[in-house]
């Protein structure tokens, strides 16, 4: 019984949140890694692109709620998500036309593009704050829990409860759908294959008649869809606040780099590595230890390795360790 | 038009803008712009050292600025003997233990042969060291934080004159930069960017959470000042008389006097650093740096130690940012870790350097003054524009209210537009590198 209780406590506080957070990070990191693979620069504006997509979705959700459209037990935001994706696609295509295209034609150094993306970051950040303001916005509705802690306790008679929020379930399901669709696209379709070819060897791809502008356009479209989805899922799970999305940049980049920049599979693995380490290291283990250890060994403190405010430090330290020992990331990434 | 004339003209335009602020708004805000502009100029010189001279992409400026601020608390804060006797030494001991653990782990990884024995030894040292560190650290921290938590609860400072804190801020930032540079400088430019971004967040997290150090988010207020207090000046008959002689009332005169005092101090620091940076740029060392920046492989073939030079300039540039951070905290008179925001303290400094002209010290200074002026003035300007735009709308229109409320967020938008425009149409900045 103690073992089961410990297991449930562990799932409730570590596994479930980490899986949901990991899926969100993985979707974000996929966007970063695709940009890096095809356009060959680190996109600092990615966090704010996510915020933009989430913002459009929040606005459409509010509009739908006001005219009485709902999605039953599921959050209305899922219905609004396509609009968010569409808006983000328009925004990034516009940005690419107006800003990035010029530097691509100039064959500017990657670091120049990074600085350019800093400018885009400022603009998008300003835009989001301008439209929706810097404050917290809640837009989740529908059922709050798939299983609430109380129901779970009644069902199983255990002392520990396991709560799974609807948003956590949706996050995982949507993330799986996105990833499957993405890999199907990259591996099975002509456009997807040309994207991979362009990423592997630009000159050879051009030689075989691949249109680079088309590849770039599709990349932006996919990145916009991923970013908007990741942004909405994160917003549903936690809450929507523009500045938080900017701060997500660090764990997202850490995930992409840990997995190997430019490698989609690596981005997913990296997302989960970062999420699990963040949650396990900042979790107070006293509750689990109470069930697993004999009374005499029970920890007196919270048995928390680091306070939750240091979660940035965790993603960062993992990033450094991986870079020092395996500079191209866990899966082989590119090195420009 | 020759170059000197053009550059003087550019500086004159920025000076004119600030004078205009003085006439249109108030001299108080004009001098405030100058003071923060001077501090920003020093930060810009630091970033320009790293980026303009050596091509290092450091987006962790905020962290070094915050460390400079911490130095002010540690050097000039009130000396607190009871905190030291309660646990101050214990904390220092714990930190030394932590450092020893890391050093031992690094030694093991270097000295022992690769294999299972090394992994086990390293894990044992790290875990044992961590447990020991927490065992010493936690009770001492609790003891220090228990002392008068409403007003203090930290280990306090050394009670030294606040001007000493400025070089100390530079030293603290330099020490941190050395540690970071040792680990992260071998990485590619993108990775270095992410690494420095992360370091800055960690430094802020430490400042926010380690209450024993600088009270965390409870803030340290009332730090000593290098200039007299307004109230003392107002009570000084000689000062009041002189102010009356100039036709100013004592309150106004005392605030201006204090602010101008800061301006003079900041100006002296800026001129010294600018002179040093110019000398460095012209020296063989500066030429070597630019050679490394332009072609690392060629420079290495000429026998230059690229990694060492990078570390050197990374430490120097960060130290300059640390000095600026200490000066800023001195100007504010308080350390408020909650207000450090990467957009304001890292990316805005980058905009300053790029707009001014990377690789040119005068460009960095000009860019800093100009961008700081805009950063301050875009907000009232934005509200004014919005009022103009919405003047035709109904008084109670929701859109009108929203536009007026959001005008304050115009500054980020404007900074982004300026950065992109400069990068597109004048990528070498206002005063290009020679």
pLDDT tens sequence across A7-51: 888 888 889 999 999 999 999 999 999 999 999 899 999 999 999
* Number of separate domains in chain A: 1
Burial class (CB in 10 A: 0-12, 13-18, 19+), B260: middle
Q: How far is CA A324 from the centre of its chain?
A: 24
Asked if the model's pLDDT at residue A327 lies above 80, the reply is no
* Residue whose entry in the numeric block shows the structure tokens 């709902």: A70
Contacts of B413 in chain A (CB under 8 A): 122-123, 126-127, 130
pLDDT digits 0-9 by tens, A195-249: 999 988 888 988 988 999 999 999 999 999 999 999 999 999 888 998 889 889 9
Same domain for B112 and B255, yes or no, is no
Q: What string of DSSP letters covers A279-305? A: HHHHSBTHHHHHHHS-GGG--SS--BS
pLDDT, greater one: B380 or A93: A93
- Where b means 16+ CB within 10 Å and e means fewer, A174-206 reads bbeebbeebeeebeeeeebebbebbbeeeeebe
**Most confident region among B36-45, B52-61, B183-192, B196-205 by mean pLDDT:** B36-45
Whether residue A298 is predicted with pLDDT greater than 70 in this model: the reply is: no
Lowest mean pLDDT among A65-69, A114-118, A319-323: A319-323
Q: What is the pLDDT of residue A311?
A: 80
- Cβ-count burial B95-124 (b if 16+ within 10 Å, e if not): eebbeebeebbeebbeeeeeeeeeeebbee
Cα-trace Rg, chain A: 21
Count of the separate structural domains present in chain B: 2
B88 and B74: one domain? no
Q: Mean pLDDT throughout B363-380?
A: 93
* B113: containing domain: 80-155
Last residue of a domain, one of B155, B187, B202: B155
pLDDT at B153 over 90: no
Please tell me the least confidently modeled range out of A35-39, A298-302, B155-159: A298-302
B-contacting residues in A 124-183 (Cβ below 8 Å): 124-127, 129-131, 133-134
- Residues in A 42-61 with any Cβ partner in B closer than 8 A: 42
Of the ranges A10-19, A140-149, B108-117, which is most confident? A10-19
Which of B194, B199, B423 lies closest to A257 in CB terms? B194
A332 belongs to a structural domain? no
Task: Examine the domain organization and report whether B112 and B253 are in the same domain.
Answer: no
Nearest to A118 among B201, B347, B413 (CB): B347
Average pLDDT over residues B198-227: 87
Q: Give the B window 27-86 contacts with A, CB below 8 Å.
A: 55, 57
On whether residue A38 sits in a domain, the answer given is yes
* Chain B contact for A313 (CB, 8 A cutoff): yes
Flag whether residue B385 sits within 8 Å of chain A, measured between CB atoms: no
Q: Are residues B177 and B50 in the same domain?
A: yes
Asked whether residue B135 falls in the same domain as residue B97, the answer is yes
Is B420 in Cβ contact with A123 (below 8 Å)?
yes
How far does the CA of residue A84 sit from the closest CA of chain B (Å)? 21
In tens, the pLDDT along B244-287 reads 888 888 888 888 899 999 999 999 999 999 999 999 999 999 99
Q: What is the reported pLDDT for B244?
A: 86
A336: pLDDT strictly greater than 50: no
Classify residue A137 as left (phi > 0), alpha (psi -120 to 50) or beta: beta
Q: Indicate if B166 and B42 belong to the same structural domain.
A: yes
Q: Give me chain B's average pLDDT, please.
A: 89
pLDDT digits (tens, 9 = 90+) for A251-293: 999 999 898 888 899 999 999 999 999 988 888 787 777 777 7
Listed residue (A140, A220, A251, A311) closest to B194, CA to CA: A251
Joined tokens for residue B155:
């280990």
Same domain, B286 and B177: yes
Q: Do residues B51 and B354 lie in contact, with contact meaning Cβ atoms separated by under 8 Å? A: no
Please provide residue B79's backbone torsions phi and psi, each rounded to the nearest 5 degrees.
Answer: -70, 135
| Same domain membership, residue B299 and residue B175 | yes
Residue A95 has a pLDDT of 96
The alpha-carbon radius of gyration of chain B (Å, integer) is 24
**B173 and B291, same domain (yes or no):** yes
The whole domain housing A60 covers 2-325
Q: What percent of chain A has pLDDT over 70?
A: 96
Q: What is the value of ipTM here, to two decimals? A: 0.90
Kindly report the backbone phi and psi dihedral angles of residue B430, in degrees, each rounded to the nearest multiple of 5, phi listed first. Answer: -70, -45
| Predicted TM-score of the model (pTM) | 0.91
pLDDT of residue A115: 92
Q: Tell me whether residue A330 is in a domain.
A: no
Residue B145 located in a structural domain: yes
Hey, which of A143-147, B248-252, B335-339 has the most confident mean pLDDT? B335-339
Asked if residue B107 and residue B253 are part of one domain, the reply reads no
CATH, residue A310:
1.10.3470
pLDDT at position A122 is 93
Give the pLDDT of residue A81. 95
Nearest by CB: B424 against A102, A126, A336: A102
Query: Domain for residue B25, yes or no?
Result: yes
A 10 A CB-CB count for A148 gives: 16
3-state SS, one letter per residue, for chain B: CCHHHHHHHHHHHHHHHHHHHHHHCCHHHHHHHHHHHHHHHHHHHHHHHHHHHCCCCCCCHHHHHHHHHHHHHHHHCCECHHHHHHHHHHHHHHHHHHHHHHHHHHHHHHHCCCCHHHHHHHHHHHHHHHHHHHHHHHHHHHHHHCCCCCCCCCCECCCCCHHHHHHHHHHHHHHHHHHHHHHHCCCCHHHHHHHHHHHHHHHHHHHHHCHHHHCHHHCECCCCCCCCCHHHHHCCHHHHHHHHHCCCCHHHHHHHHHHHHHHHHHHHHHHHHHHHHHHHHHCHHHHHHHHHHHCHHHHHHCCCCHHHHHHHHHHHHHHHHHHHHHHHHHHHCCECHHHCCHHHHHHHHHHHHHHHCCCCHHHHHHHHHHHHHHHHHHHHHHHHHHHHHHHHCCCCCHHHHHHHHHHHHHHHHHHHHHHHHHHHHCCCCCCCCC
């Amino acid at each position: 019984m103690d073992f089961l209780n410990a297991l449930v406590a562990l799932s409730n506080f570590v596994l479930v949140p980490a899986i949901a957070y990991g899926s969100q990070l993985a979707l974000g990191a996929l966007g970063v890694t695709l940009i890096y693979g095809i356009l060959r620069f680190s996109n600092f504006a990615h966090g704010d692109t996510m915020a933009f997509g989430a913002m459009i979705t929040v606005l459409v959700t509010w509009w739908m709620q006001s005219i009485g459209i709902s999605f039953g037990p599921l959050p209305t935001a899922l219905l609004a998500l396509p609009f968010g994706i569409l808006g983000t696609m328009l925004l990034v295509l516009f940005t690419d036309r107006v800003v990035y295209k010029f530097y691509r034609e100039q064959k500017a150094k990657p670091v120049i593009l990074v600085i350019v993306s800093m400018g885009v970051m400022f603009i998008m950040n300003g835009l989001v704050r301008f439209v929706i303001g810097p404050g917290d916005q809640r837009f989740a509705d529908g059922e709050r829990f798939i299983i609430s802690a109380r129901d779970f306790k009644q069902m199983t008679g255990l002392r520990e409860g396991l709560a799974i929020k609807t948003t956590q379930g949706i996050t995982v399901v949507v993330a799986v759908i996105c990833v499957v669709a993405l890999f199907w696209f990259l591996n099975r379709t002509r456009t997807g294959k040309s994207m991979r070819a362009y990423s592997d060897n630009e000159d050879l791809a051009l030689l075989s008649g691949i249109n680079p502008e088309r590849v770039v356009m599709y990349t932006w479209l996919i990145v916009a869809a991923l970013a908007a989805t990741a942004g909405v899922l994160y917003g549903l799970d936690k809450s929507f606040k523009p500045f938080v999305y900017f701060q997500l940049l660090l764990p997202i980049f850490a995930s992409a780099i840990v997995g190997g920049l430019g490698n989609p599979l690596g981005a997913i693995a990296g997302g989960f590595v970062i999420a699990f380490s963040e949650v396990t290291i900042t979790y107070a283990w006293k509750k689990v230890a109470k069930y697993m250890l004999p009374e005499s060994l029970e920890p007196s403190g919270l048995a928390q390795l680091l306070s939750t405010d240091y979660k940035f430090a965790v993603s960062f330290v993992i990033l450094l360790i991986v870079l020092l020992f395996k500079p191209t990331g866990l899966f082989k990434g590119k090195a420009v | 038009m020759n170059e000197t004339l053009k550059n003087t003209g550019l500086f004159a335009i920025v000076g004119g803008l600030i004078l205009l602020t003085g006439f249109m708004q108030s001299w108080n805000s004009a001098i405030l712009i100058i003071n923060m502009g001077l501090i920003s100029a020093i930060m810009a010189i630091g970033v320009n050292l790293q980026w303009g001279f050596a091509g290092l992409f450091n987006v962790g400026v905020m962290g070094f600025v915050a460390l400079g601020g911490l130095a002010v608390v540690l050097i000039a804060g009130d000396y607190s003997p009871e905190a030291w006797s309660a646990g101050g030494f214990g904390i220092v001991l714990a930190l030394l233990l932590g450092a020893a653990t890391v050093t031992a782990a690094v030694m093991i990884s270097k000295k022992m042969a690769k294999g299972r024995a090394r992994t086990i030894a390293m894990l044992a040292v790290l875990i044992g060291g961590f447990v020991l560190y927490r065992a010493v650290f936690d009770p001492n921290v609790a003891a220090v934080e228990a002392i008068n938590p409403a007003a203090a609860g930290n280990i306090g400072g050394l009670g030294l004159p606040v001007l000493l804190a400025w070089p100390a801020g530079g030293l603290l930032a330099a020490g941190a930069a050395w540690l970071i540079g040792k680990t992260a400088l071998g990485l590619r430019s993108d990775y270095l960017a992410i690494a420095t971004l992360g370091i800055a967040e960690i430094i802020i997290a430490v400042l926010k959470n380690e209450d024993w150090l600088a009270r965390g988010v409870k803030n340290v207020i009332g730090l000593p000042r290098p200039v007299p207090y307004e109230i003392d000046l107002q009570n000084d008959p000689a000062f009041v008389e002189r102010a009356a002689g100039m036709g100013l009332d004592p309150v106004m005169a005392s605030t201006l006097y204090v602010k101008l005092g800061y301006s003079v101090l900041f100006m002296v620091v800026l001129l010294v650093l600018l002179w040093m940076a110019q000398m460095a740029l012209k020296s063989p060392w500066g030429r070597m740096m630019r050679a490394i920046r332009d072609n690392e492989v060629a420079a290495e073939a000429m026998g230059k130690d690229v990694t060492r030079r990078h570390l050197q300039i990374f430490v120097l540039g960060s130290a300059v940012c640390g000095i600026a951070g200490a000066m800023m905290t001195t100007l504010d008179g308080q350390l408020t870790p909650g207000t450090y925001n990467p957009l304001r303290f890292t990316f805005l400094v980058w905009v300053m350097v790029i707009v001014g002209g990377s690789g040119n010290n005068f460009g960095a200074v000009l860019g800093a003054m100009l961008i700081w002026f805009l950063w301050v003035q875009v907000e009232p300007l934005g509200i004014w524009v919005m009022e103009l735009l919405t003047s035709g709308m109904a008084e109670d229109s929701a859109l009108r209210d929203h536009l007026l409320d959001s005008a304050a967020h115009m500054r980020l938008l404007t900074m982004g537009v300026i950065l992109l425009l400069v990068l597109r149409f004048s990528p070498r900045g206002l005063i290009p590198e020679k």
